A and B are shown apart, each in its own frame.
Chain A
Amino acid sequence: MKDEAVAKVALVSCGSEYAGVHGELESVASSVNAKLVYPEIEVDILDDIGKDFGIEAASPDLRLMMARATAVVEGITDVDGVFITSCFRCAEAAIVRNEVRSYINKHSTLPVISYSFTERTTAATLLTRMEALTTIARRRHLLAREKQSGLTAGIDSGSTTTKAVIMKDNQILGSGWVPTIKVIDSATEALNSALEEAGLKKEDIQAMGTTGYGRFLVGEHFNANLIQEEITVNSKGAVYLADKQQGSATVIDIGGMDNKAISVEDGIPGMFTMGGICAGASGRFLDMTAKRLGVDITELGDLAVKGMEQNVSMNSYCIVFGIQSLVNSLAKGSTPEDVAAAACHSVVEQIFEQQLQEVDVKEPLILVGGSSLIEGVPKALGELLKIDVLVPPNSHLIGAVGSALLASGFLEE
Chain B
Amino acid sequence: MANVIIYPTNSLILSDLVKRFGHTPLAMMEKIKEKISTVGVDSPPLNITAEEPKLGLKYAAVEVPAGVRGRMSMIGPMVERSEAGIIVGESPMAFGCMGCARTNELTKYLIRTRDMPVLELAFPKTDEEGQEFVYRIAEFLRSLPQQEEGKE
Asked if residues A354 and B62 are in contact (CB atoms below 8 Å), the reply is: yes
| Chain A residue contacts of B106, Cβ below 8 A | 55, 95
Asked if residues B61 and A55 are in contact (CB atoms below 8 Å), the reply is: no
Asked if residues A357 and B68 are in contact (CB atoms below 8 Å), the reply is: no
Q: Which of B57, B68, B109: most chain A CB closer than 10 A?
A: B109
Q: Please classify the interface of chain A as helix (H, G, I), strand (E, B), loop, or mixed, using the class held by over half of its residues.
A: helix
Asked if residues A91 and B64 are in contact (CB atoms below 8 Å), the reply is: yes
Within residues 53 to 92 of chain B, which ones have a CB less than 8 A from any CB in chain A? Answer: 54, 57-58, 60-65, 68
Asked if residues B108 and A56 are in contact (CB atoms below 8 Å), the reply is: yes
> Residue A54 at the B interface, CB < 8 A?
yes
> Residue A58 at the B interface, CB < 8 A?
yes
Residue of A nearest to B89 (CB): A56
Q: Which of A57, A94, A116: most chain B CB closer than 10 A?
A: A94
> Residue A222 at the B interface, CB < 8 A?
no
Asked if residues A94 and B60 are in contact (CB atoms below 8 Å), the reply is: yes
Interface size class of B (residues with CB under 8 A): 10 to 19
Interface string of A260-273 (1 = CB under 8 A from B): 00000000000000
> Residue B112 at the A interface, CB < 8 A?
yes
Residue of B nearest to A352 (CB): B57
Residue of B nearest to A114 (CB): B61
Asked if residues A91 and B63 are in contact (CB atoms below 8 Å), the reply is: yes
**Given A55-B106, A92-B102, is A358 in contact with B112 using a C-beta cutoff of 8 Å?**
no
| Chain A residue contacts of B62, Cβ below 8 A | 353-354, 357
Asked if residues B64 and A94 are in contact (CB atoms below 8 Å), the reply is: yes
Cβ distance B9 to chain A, nearest Cβ, rounded Å:
16
| Chain B residue contacts of A321, Cβ below 8 A | none
Asked if residues A54 and B64 are in contact (CB atoms below 8 Å), the reply is: no
Asked if residues B105 and A116 are in contact (CB atoms below 8 Å), the reply is: no
Asked if residues B113 and A91 are in contact (CB atoms below 8 Å), the reply is: no
Cβ distance A365 to chain B, nearest Cβ, rounded Å:
16
Cβ distance B40 to chain A, nearest Cβ, rounded Å:
17
**Bound complex: CA of A91 vs CA of B62, how far in Å?**
9
Interface string of A133-145 (1 = CB under 8 A from B): 0000000000000
Binding site for B on A (CB under 8 A): 51, 54-58, 88-92, 94-95, 97-99, 116, 352-354, 357-358
Q: Can you sample 22 A-B contacts with CB below 8 Å?
A: A54-B112, A54-B113, A55-B106, A55-B108, A56-B105, A88-B63, A89-B63, A92-B101, A92-B102, A92-B105, A95-B61, A95-B64, A95-B68, A95-B105, A97-B61, A98-B60, A352-B57, A353-B62, A357-B57, A357-B60, A357-B61, A357-B62
Extra A-B contacts (16), CB below 8 Å, given A94-B63, A357-B57, A357-B58 = A51-B120, A54-B109, A55-B109, A56-B105, A58-B101, A90-B63, A91-B64, A91-B65, A92-B101, A92-B105, A95-B60, A95-B109, A97-B61, A98-B61, A354-B62, A357-B62
